[in-house]
Amino acid sequence: MDYRAAAKALAGGTPWPVYVCYGAETFLMREFVNFAVDKLVDPADRHMCLARFDCTEIPLDRVVDEAETPPFFGSRKVVIAEKAFFLTAARENGKVEHRVERLAEYVARPAEHTVLILTVESEKLDERKKAVKTLKERGWTLAFEPLSEAELVRWAEKRAERRGVRMTPGALRRLVERTAGSLPAMDQEIEKLALYAGDGGIADEAAVDAFVPRTPEQNVFLLVDHVISRRAREAVEVLHDLLLRREEPIKLLALIARQCRVLLQVKACLERGLSQKETAAELGLHPYAVRLAAEQARKDSERVLAAMLAEASELDHWMKTGRTDKALGLELFLLRWARREAT
């Protein structure tokens, strides 16, 4: 069962006794936990019926003790244990000792009066551990993975509707692009667009362009795209705009170099036969960013990208040692690569 089905079951009044929430999409994870608390505990009773623990500070024994203790008020309580890295293959830092077998014993006979929620920001659980095996067998684990582009668009559409505004299909795609698929950023920008459009209003692409700025990283992505597509004039226009915003040339060059490395890494992964989802997991990138990088990487060869990266490293040295003017050196670098002969 995925987290959407689990939320539906919660809303219907049939919670699980234990939830293990894991994955890289922490925004969705936090939303699910908050939804569970809202459904399971009355706001007036939370000081008595809700307990939160940080497992990097508190041992698992204390968490389980709390879960086994009947609530002082009401018929049910919620116990939340965050940063439960003892459920993964990550090495313990030695600060707190966790007896994971205690959780395995609890999972075998969970308390009827408690809903225990464990969260961990990790893409995988360690299925060699008995507690994890039992939790998976009972279906009490929920993976919160990064959303695909289509899922991001649907998420944004629903979030906008919740705020009383309708976004056009083009505006939704532009929002995903401008925020690089970051749910917290999308949430903040939708709030701004809702204020602009007003209740029942419509936000189109022009509104997104006007109110949702590109980050320096996104501008550099666009800059690199212009360069490898041999659009010299457009590349210089983007660079001049960034310099007018007082972006530091050395920082911009570092971001350009990083983008070249990403393109090379994505190329290598795809050539090994990995899917875009597998590539995202291996490189620690958002699947949407990998899709964009894969499209961009097709525009030039590995040899050219590697040479561009090498020259960026050399230019960085020249900038930092005062052998070239930073802004001029960066502009000439971009022009040289954008005007090169096709290979």
What are the distances in angstroms from CA 200 to CA 37, 92, 164, 203, 207? 30, 51, 5, 10, 15
Contact 205, 168 (CB under 8 A): yes
| pLDDT 10s digits, 20-39 | 999 989 999 999 999 999 99
* pLDDT at residue 82, as a whole number: 96
pLDDT tier at 221 (50, 70, 90 boundaries)?
confident
What is the distance between the alpha carbons of residues 137 and 6, in angstroms, rounded to a whole number?
Answer: 16
> What is the average per-residue pLDDT within 86-103?
85
Phi–psi pair at 281, nearest 5 degrees: -65, -40
Phi–psi pair at 28, nearest 5 degrees: -65, -35
Among 70-74, 129-133, 227-231, which stretch is predicted with the lowest mean pLDDT? 70-74
Instruction: Residue 212: name the closest of 176, 247, 265 by CA.
Output: 176
- E strand or H helix that includes residue 101: helix 100-108
Is it the case that residue 1 has pLDDT exceeding 80?
no
Fold of 3-143: Rossmann fold (3.40.50)
pLDDT tier at 341 (50, 70, 90 boundaries)?
low
Phi–psi pair at 248, nearest 5 degrees: -75, 125
- E strand or H helix that includes residue 221: helix 216-228
Instruction: Return the percentage of the chain with pLDDT > 90, whole number.
Output: 71
pTM across the whole model: 0.77
- CATH label, 216-338, candidates 2.60.40.420, 1.20.272.10, 3.30.9.90, 3.20.20.100: 1.20.272.10
Domain extents in the chain: 3-143, 149-211, 216-338
pLDDT tier at 259 (50, 70, 90 boundaries)?
very high
> What is the average per-residue pLDDT within 244-249?
91
Q: How many other β-carbons are positioned within 10 Å of the β-carbon of residue 212?
A: 21
Instruction: Residue 98: name the closest of 86, 111, 114 by CA.
Output: 86
Fold of 149-211: Helicase, Ruva Protein; domain 3 (1.10.8)
* pLDDT at residue 267, as a whole number: 92
What is the distance between the alpha carbons of residues 100 and 79, in angstroms, rounded to a whole number?
Answer: 17
pLDDT tier at 46 (50, 70, 90 boundaries)?
confident
Is it the case that residue 144 has pLDDT exceeding 90?
yes
* pLDDT at residue 54, as a whole number: 95
